[in-house]
Amino acid sequence: MAVYEVFRQEELHEPPAHAGSVEAPNDELAAQYAREVYSRRGEALRLWVVPRLAITQVEDPDFLNSPIERDYRMGQGYRITVAKRRQLRSTEGTAS
Amino acid sequence: MNVRSGPELSEPLRLALGRYLTTVADDELVIGYRDSEWTAAAPMVEEDVAFSSLAQDEIGHARLYYTLAGELLGEDPDRLALLRPEDQYWHAPVLEEPAAPRYDPSGNHRAGGSWAKAVVRRYLYDLFDDLRTELLLAVRYPPLTGAVEKIRREEQYHLRHGAAWFEMLGNGAGDAHERLQTALSDSWPGLLGLFEPPKGEAALIDAGVVPGSWNLLRDGWLGLVRDRCRASGLHLPETGVEPETGGRLGVHGSGWVELYHDMTMVRRLEPDAAW
């Protein structure tokens, strides 16, 4: 028996989103169980049924979030640039 | 010509076709009811949901056939399904036998049940029904065709489900293989009884309404079952044994006494209630 994660696409332009999981002895029955449990009332356009073991899990906090402060890489920094540019423009205006 | 009413059939042929479709419906209702008893008792919770769902599909197919039979017989489909006398159901007896565990309020429980028996019966019945619905597509009664096409689309998924279990248990470790082989051998005469044709079939064939007999489906079915057994590490039981017949004429066993009572008990409390 293996655990399968089930992803369900409900609308054509939406990505498949995690719906839940099923336990099954093989891929064929996993597909059948996924349909019964996660598209019982025809909710799905498409199901992705993935053995949980096929998923590469990434959860190391140091890997996901650097322990070293690096706010300078964040987009928020550019807000200061916008303010500075505005300030500069108004200064230039007075000069001319 | 009104398409719903189909071609003009003489009175005896109309009644014979009504009986013919009621026989198909009875098979579907009875196996659907027996398999629904696995709800909350299948080997794992996902299979509970899947097997109950397949069972409900069969009851849905029965409803389509009873509706068509009802139009021919001038009878309400609910009354056909649940209010006939006990000896006027025409299903094959193998389908009425209990397989699931049973809780009995009087304390006479049936523990365990036989999942192997349920798997064998379900899959081999579906293989039979696949051949039968192929035959039904060629029956010269237009209202039937559309219904059978839809049923066959749904049945493809039943066959996939059955094949997966049959192969898994047949090739399985532990006592899985042994149990499946025993269930196959025990159910064999009953399964051969599926091919007993409905009463009135000969007249329908003579009139050109029905293209051929259920009896003639047997060789094709044996070929399929032989292949499936080979793929699943099982041996085919002796094909020459006497089939268990009589079901098509209303002759049933103790499983039917129990099932008829369970199935109709609510309806019989107030037969004319509106649902």
What is the DSSP annotation of B100-155?
S-B--TTS--B-S--HHHHHHHHHHHHHHHHHHHHHHHTSS-HHHHHHHHHHHHHH
What is the Cα A87 distance to its own chain's centre? 38
Q: How far is it, in rounded angstroms, from Cα B91 to Cα B251?
A: 9
| Selection from B1, B247, B28, B21 nearest residue B136 by Cα | B21
Q: Do A26 and B160 touch (CB under 8 A)?
A: no
Q: Do A36 and B49 touch (CB under 8 A)?
A: yes
| Selection from B97, B168, B92, B163 nearest residue B126 by Cα | B163
Parts of chain B with a pLDDT under 50: 1-4, 6
At residue A92, the pLDDT reads 77
- Burial pattern B261-275, b for ≥16 Cβ within 10 A else e, equals eebbeeeeeeeeeee
Q: Is residue B160 less than 8 Å (CB to CB) from chain A?
A: yes
CA-nearest residue to A24 within chain B is B46
Name the residue facing A26 among B47, B49, B168 (closest C-beta). Answer: B168
Give B253's contacts (C-beta < 8 A, 6+ positions apart): B93, B96, B97
Q: Do B164 and A29 touch (CB under 8 A)?
A: yes
At residue B272, the pLDDT reads 87
Find tokens 């899947």 and name the residue.
B50
Tell me which of A1, A26, A28 to substitute to probe the interface with B (most B C-beta atoms closer than 10 Å). A28
At residue B3, the pLDDT reads 43
Name the pTM for this structure: 0.88
CA-nearest residue to B45 within chain A is A23
What are residue A47's DSSP bridge partners? A8
Amino acid at B209: V
At residue A71, the pLDDT reads 75
Q: Which CATH superfamily is domain B11-269 in?
A: Ferritin, core subunit, four-helix bundle (1.20.1260.10)
What are residue A23's DSSP bridge partners? A3
Q: Is residue A4 less than 8 Å (CB to CB) from chain B?
A: no
User: A70 pLDDT band (50/70/90 cuts)?
Assistant: confident
Min distance A22 CA to chain B CA atoms (Å): 7
Residue A76 pLDDT > 80:
no
Name the residue facing B161 among A1, A22, A32 (closest C-beta). Answer: A32
Is the domain spanning A2-95 CATH 3.10.20.520? The answer is: yes
Tell me which of B38, B39, B46, B155 to substitute to probe the interface with A (most A C-beta atoms closer than 10 Å). B46
Residue A94 pLDDT > 80:
no
Tell me which of A33, A38, A49 to substitute to probe the interface with B (most B C-beta atoms closer than 10 Å). A33
At residue B2, the pLDDT reads 40
Residue A72 pLDDT > 90:
no
ipTM of the complex: 0.80
Min distance A29 CA to chain B CA atoms (Å): 7
Residue A96 pLDDT > 60:
no
Q: Do B49 and A26 touch (CB under 8 A)?
A: no
Q: Do A32 and B49 touch (CB under 8 A)?
A: no
At residue B88, the pLDDT reads 98
The domain limits of chain B are: 11-269
Q: How many CB pairs below 8 Å do chains A and B form together?
A: 32
Find tokens 């009589």 and name the residue.
B246
- Hey, what are B215's tokens? 């009896």
Q: How far is it, in rounded angstroms, from Cα B102 to Cα B99?
A: 9
Chain B CB contacts of A22 below 8 Å: 46
Q: Please tell me which residue, A74 or B42, carries the higher pLDDT value.
A: B42
Q: Is residue B265 less than 8 Å (CB to CB) from chain A?
A: no
CA-nearest residue to B166 within chain A is A29
Q: Do A36 and B50 touch (CB under 8 A)?
A: yes
At residue B176, the pLDDT reads 96
**Helix, strand, or coil (residue A66):** coil
At residue B7, the pLDDT reads 53
Q: Do A36 and B160 touch (CB under 8 A)?
A: no
**CA angle at B43 for the pair B41 and B46, rounded to the nearest 5°:** 90
Q: Is residue B48 less than 8 Å (CB to CB) from chain A?
A: no
CA-nearest residue to B160 within chain A is A28
Name the residue facing B53 among A1, A22, A36 (closest C-beta). Answer: A36
